[in-house]
């Protein structure tokens, strides 16, 4: 099956079965905690995304659903591969992949120390930094998205969390526990 999305990458579904990744319950617990702290509210933050490295694959939330509405395995996809030159995503899952899939894929491939990525497009996060010179990833179309992704990767050299213009704040870490410490300022 082939599907199209607004970012113009094609999705080929290897299988339309739900993911059986054992990390999904941990992700759902993390999302529930974000929701409890009002960091992923419906109608405000429908562009948030979360991904976890899962072997050679990547687990990511689907599009068309707010993070706060994610409650089950059907709301995630396993991305088996992404070809930026042909704009093709190979996926296992029931729904369409999130628009930030290429960004997550490149970060996971470029940085072996990053196993978890969370992008929160939340007005409640106190990161009102100057947004003029920041990479705007989701506004672009392939192949123009490659340059902003390079900028994101450069910014991630020295930091674990970065603001992304029109896309919120990206948190990266070895696992969700590390990201949780950053988001909730635990020390």
* Class in CATH terms, 2-183: alpha beta
Per-residue pLDDT of the chain (187 residues; tens, 9 = 90+): 444 444 578 999 999 999 999 999 999 999 999 888 877 766 554 568 999 999 999 999 998 788 888 889 899 999 999 998 888 999 999 999 998 999 999 999 999 999 999 998 865 454 443 333 445 554 444 446 778 888 999 999 989 989 887 778 899 999 999 999 988 875 4
Count Cβ atoms below 10 Å from residue 25 Cβ, excluding itself.
10
Do β-strands 168-173 and 161-164 pair in parallel, antiparallel, or remain unpaired? antiparallel
Angle at 72 between CA 67 and CA 70, to 5 degrees: 10
Residue with tokens 């109608």: 43
Do β-strands 10-15 and 88-92 pair in parallel, antiparallel, or remain unpaired? parallel
What's the length of the chain? 187
Domain boundaries, the chain: 2-183
CA 62 to chain centre: 9
Alpha helical stretches, state H, 43-145: 101-110
CA 53 vs CA 57, 78, 115, 154: distances in Å? 6, 10, 5, 20
């Amino acid at each position: 099956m082939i599907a199209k999305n607004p970012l113009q990458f094609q999705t080929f579904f290897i299988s339309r079965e739900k993911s059986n990744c054992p990390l999904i319950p941990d992700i759902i617990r993390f999302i529930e905690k974000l929701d409890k702290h009002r960091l992923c509210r419906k109608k405000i933050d429908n562009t948030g995304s979360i991904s976890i490295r899962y072997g050679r694959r990547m687990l990511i939330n689907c599009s068309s659903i707010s993070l706060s509405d994610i409650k089950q395995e059907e709301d995630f996809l396993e991305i088996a591969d992404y070809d930026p030159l042909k704009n093709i995503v190979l996926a296992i899952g029931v729904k369409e992949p999130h628009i930030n899939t290429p960004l997550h894929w490149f970060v996971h491939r470029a940085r072996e120390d990053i196993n978890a990525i969370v992008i929160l497009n939340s007005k409640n996060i106190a990161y009102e930094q100057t947004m003029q010179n920041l990479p705007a990833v989701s506004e672009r179309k392939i192949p123009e998205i490659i340059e902003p992704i390079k900028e994101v990767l450069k910014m991630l050299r020295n930091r674990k969390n970065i603001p992304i213009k029109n896309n919120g704040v990206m948190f990266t870490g070895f696992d969700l526990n590390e990201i949780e410490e950053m988001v909730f300022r635990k020390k």
